[in-house]
Structure 1
Amino acid sequence: MDSMSTAILLLLLALIYLFLTISSKGKGQLPPGPRPLPFLGNLLQLRSQDMLTSLTKLSKKYGSVYTVYLGPRRVVVLSGYQAVKEALVDQGEEFSGRGDYPVFLNFTKGNGIAFSNGDRWKVLRRFSVQILRNFGMGKRSIEERILEESNFLLAELRKTEGEPFDPTFVLSRSVSNIICSVIFGSRFDYEDERLLNIIHLINENFQIMSSPWGELYNIFPSLLDWLPGPHRCLFQNFGRMKDLIARSVRDHQATLDPESPRDFIDCFLTKIAQEKQDPLSHFHMDTLLMTTHNLIFGGTETVGTTLRHAFLVLLKYPKVQARVQEEIDRVVGRERLPALEDRPAMPYTDAVIHEVQRFADVIPMSLPHRVIRDTAFRGFLLPKGTDIITLLNTVHYDPSQFLTPQEFNPEHFLDASQSFKKSPAFMPFSAGRRLCLGESLARMELFLYFTAILQNFSLQPLGAPEDIDLTPISSGLGNLPRPFQLRLRAR
């Protein structure tokens, strides 16, 4: 490179840096943070292979509210229970926007229920919540569907006959069938090609998005669009999933009866037809495809991953497993499956499930939020459109809220009399306006699956319990448990 080219390059870098510096001022009084470099932002202070740890360390230096640059993109990071609660709960409306998440944005283009904003998001959320509630409270309640699916799952688990196996796939198939029955109108046989494809596509994408490649794409999407890597597979999988949903939608269109909707897709197609002449309608075919994808993805991966974390914890702590089983036997017995009405009489089991969710911290940084207007927050002024990262990990591991945050300890959710105790710092489904709309369904699934399995089986490790490693293998979008196998002994 000659001296003239070098000078031009340096001048361009200086202009970029000047632009970043100026843009960080004059648009509000932003929280302090590490000084960014041109284009790279704070990449030198962050590790894409462990973004969560990097951001958590920066919070110890800059406080519970600070500014960081993910490449050229500026975000404000919130750390600890108080800061996150003040934003998402106390100022929930101001922080109700959805921030950029390039891995998903590349696919959704801001459409669908999880990644839309403004009126579209409000309309889609209100509609989806109502439809899901209707199907959950209909002739076959959601609880009945879960109990039915639990029997299919137990039958599959019995087939292992005490031999070592990896529970990932069988759990995913069963959990996915619950949301699929609401979306598509019926459950799938466990060997159905459509269900197997859904599980494969979702599991693979969740792993990629939770890897360093997923984090790198979120920082430099324009650059990585030109480079090879696993992110290419990510977008191919998104496309295949969209095609799979589209085929089902076409089947629904051919047999649709607006007066007798069978499932979520029927209800959405009917709404599209009703508002066909409205130029301002938010109900279109692409919105249906994206919303359906969001619901299936959210309703499959997080519950299945949480149950795998729970298995691993019980393998490591057999005394916890034994106490849960004693409570199940005492309250429910062996003649029927546990039901939701049993939960109030099972405080220890409830505490264990909550502690698994806290300790596993499956979505440790949540999805990014965005302030929808200029917002005063803790002495700073966050300009409209500022993206917000809420470190839910620092909420779940906040020593001011949990006595031994680094340890798995069900006592975090039990009071002195061993009754179940809620914690305001329990936020596995986020909080505020963007609270996961599938929270109630996920809580039901976790309790009913967890108790049905432990009622019928004892979980046995292949090695010594003390050698089991509970630290996750990824800390990007999701905390994934380390791969493991176990044996099931019929009780």
Structure 2
Amino acid sequence: MDSILSVFGSYVNWDVKSLLLFTAVFILTADYIKNRRPGSFPPRPRAFPIVGNLFTVDYNRTHESLTQLAERYGDVYSLRMGQTWIVVLNRFDVLKEALVDQGDVLADRPNLPLLQDMFHGLGVIFSNGKIWKQQRRFALSTLKHFGFGKKSLKPVILEEFSYCAKEFKSHKGKPFDPHLILNNAVSNIICSLVFGHRFEYGDEKFMELMSWFGKGLELEASIWAQLYNSFPLLMRRLPGPHQTVQHIWNSVKDFIRVEVKEHKHNWDPSDNRDYIDCYLSEIQMSKGQADDTFDEENLVVCVFDLFLAGSETTSTTLRWAFLYMVKYPEIQGKRQMQIDTNIPQRSRSYAVIHEIQRMSNIVPLSLPHVTTRDIRLGGYTIPKGVTIIPNLTSVLFDKNEWETPDAFNPGHFLNPEGKFVKRAAFIPFSAGKRACLGENLARIELFLFFTSLMQHFTFSMPAGVKPSMDFRFGITLSPVPYQICVTSR
């Protein structure tokens, strides 16, 4: 009897081993067959089964990793992130061919599970098709009505600068972290357009919101986000930072819902005061139409997009501006002298600001696109449904486009006569149909804030401290936290 049980146990044991072996071979074979690419597909690094190239990239410096891979695999190459294929585009000519010349094919965003779970394809930034076209058109026309990107917004910006300057002066030249002050100041410009009012610098809830932005954008570009997008069924059920980013953005949306509720309570359709009021009117007018994409949930996500995009990028650029001015005090001094003596300053101020934007490289990988049909790029065939990553870093630091790509040199934007010249390869806001809709507002804000700051203050590091130009990688590239001394002039 014992011998029979022994034989049976041995048989079962081998049967389980065989089943596991068969399962493993089947999964690996299916993975290989599913992810085979034709010879015309862009080249790629060797990938692991199942996870692909998820661990090929250094997620603390993703933009640098992708730029280095281009040196080996060319300006158009591919990566397999889990079960998703992406194609990375490098250098100006390639990005122009894709985003401008074939912009219609790349006008959509990919369906990323993490963002889909949070925003459900709504809003302005990550929506597609009819929703995107209607919401972008409405946002641009409505915000322009309230001065968005126009000179008429100049008094609002300069008034906000006066509040910011008062806050800076309160530190009396002692070291402090300018992060949240700048976030609050820049955010108040878009808040005046969207919410119809600004927020005080002592508003604890609003300041908490500002502090979440950087963390949320950092997590969205982390390995956790990539794992979530690659294996959503599993990651939805696991704890981790991918759950934290959802909590952060849901808290921001809750904040916006409170604003919408207050607007509805005081709403007068005959007197639209801001973007939210206009949107509520549009909901009412569009109700019952076949192609209607206007509702309260879309309003919340659209405001979220405008609020975040209109706050984080410009304030982060100004934080980098402070670091470059203290690192190159001779440039800071020259700008102040030109302002003080009324030497025509616009060209040189533009040159310094553009060089700050180039070097700080705020959105290093832009935002992803997806092919809506098969296309040819760089001699390769890219099928429909492949995610496209425009590597803006490869353009802004291309030695073929810039005389001294790795050095801070405002001369990149000046001709021999000292006049400002915008270079074609200067595309920090990306290009094509999905270029940042807030570009004009950002330009006005940066010019007015930067020149006003230079006119009223001198910036320096605390005694014995050298400026660190290191960064935190995320959707945006932000400087590591620092303290600075601001002295009134």
Q: Which consecutive residues of structure 2, in runs of 5 or more, have no partner in the other structure?
A: 1-15
Residue equivalent to 1:296 = 307
Where 2:47 maps in the other structure, the secondary structure is coil
Q: Deviations over 1:132-179 (max 9, x none)?
A: 110007999321110110111011111010111001011011111111
What does the per-residue CA deviation read over 1:37-91, in whole Å, with 9 as the maximum and x for residues that have no partner? 3321123432333322222122111111112111111111100111011111222
Counterpart amino acid of residue 297 in structure 1: L
Equivalent AA in structure 2 for residue 11 of structure 1: F
| Contact 2:180 2:207 (C-alpha < 8 Å) held by counterparts | no
1:183-237 deviations in Å (ceiling 9; x for gaps): 1111122223442243133233123335444454445444432332222221111
Alignment pair present for 1:245 and 2:256 = yes
Asked which structure has the greater CA Rg, the reply is 2
| Residues 82, 230 of structure 2: 8 Å contact kept | yes
Matched, 1:56 2:71: no
* 1:341 aligned partner: none
> Structure 1 CA distance, aligned partners of 2:265 and 2:151?
25
Q: Structure 2 matches for 1:136-151, cutoff 5 A?
A: 136=147, 141-151=152-162
- Corresponding residue SS for 2:105: coil
- Cα 1:120–1:29 change in 2 (3 A) is farther
Query: Superposition pairs for residues 241-390 of structure 1, below 5 Å?
Result: 241-331=252-342, 345-390=345-390
For structure 1, list consecutive stretches of 5 or more residues without a partner in the other structure: 333-343
In structure 2, relative to structure 1, the CA distance for the partners of 1:44 and 1:152 (3 Å cut) is closer
Distance, in Å, in 2 between the alignment partners of 1:218 and 1:425 is 31
1:188 to 189, 199, 223: 199
Distance 1:163 1:215, change over 3 A: farther
Residue 149 of structure 2 contacts residue 441 of structure 2 at CA under 8 Å; is this kept in 1?
no
C-alpha distance in structure 1 between counterparts of 2:97 and 2:464, whole Å: 44
Quick one: structure 1 residues 132 and 280, their matched pair in 2 at CA, closer, same or farther if it must change by over 3 Å? Answer: same
What letter matches 1:457 in structure 2? F
CA distance in 2, matches of 1:140, 1:246: 30
Q: Is the alpha carbon distance of 1:160 and 1:102 closer, same or farther for their aligned partners in structure 2, counting shifts above 3 Å?
A: farther
CA contact (8 A) 1:397 1:405 kept: yes
Q: Match for 1:253: what amino acid?
A: K
Matched residue SS, 1:43: coil
Amino acid at match of 2:429: F
Report how many residues are paired. 474
Identity of aligned residues (%): 39
Aligned to 2:484: 486
* 1:8 is the counterpart of 2:17: no
1:424 equivalent to 2:424? Answer yes
Q: Bigger CA drift: 289-298 or 226-235?
A: 226-235
Distance 1:261 1:194, change over 3 A: farther
CA 1:4–1:371 in structure 2 vs 1: closer, same or farther (change >3 Å)?
Answer: closer
Superposition RMSD in Å: 2.1
Name the counterpart of 2:10: none
Structure 2 counterpart of 1:47: 58
Matched letter for residue 468 of structure 1:
P
1:18 to 30, 33, 36: 33
Distance, in Å, in 2 between the alignment partners of 1:464 and 1:197 is: 31
- Alpha-carbon distance in structure 2 between the residues aligned to 1:472 and 1:464: 21
8 Å CA contact 1:49–1:215 kept in 2: the answer is no
| 8 Å Cα contact 2:176/2:485 also seen in 1 | yes
Query: Per-residue deviation at 1:372?
Result: 2.3
Amino acid at match of 1:490: S
For 2:41 and 2:69, the matched residues in 1 are separated by: 16
Deviations 1:102-124 (A, max 9, x none): 44333112111000111211111
Looking at structure 2, the residues matched to 165 and 55 of structure 1 have their Cα atoms a distance apart, in angstroms, of 35
Residue 242 of structure 1 aligns with an amino acid whose one-letter code is K
Alpha-carbon separation, structure 2, partners of 1:104 and 1:404? 38
CA contact (8 A) 1:68 1:75 kept: yes
Distance 1:472 1:298 in 2: 19
1:110-125 pair list within 5 angstroms:
110-125=121-136
- Residue identity in the other structure for 2:338: E
- Give the letter for the 2:485 counterpart: R
Matches within 5 A, 1:12-161: 12-21=27-36, 24-25=37-38, 29-136=40-147, 141-161=152-172
TM-score (norm 1): 0.91
From the superposition, tell whether residues 138 and 456 of structure 1 become closer, same or farther in structure 2 (CA, over 3 Å).
Answer: closer
Tell me if structure 2 keeps the 8 A contact 1:40–1:72: yes
For residues 411 and 358 of structure 1, what CA distance do their matches in structure 2 show? Answer: 12
2:120 aligned partner, one-letter code: K
Quick one: distance in 2 between partners of 1:139 and 1:435? 18
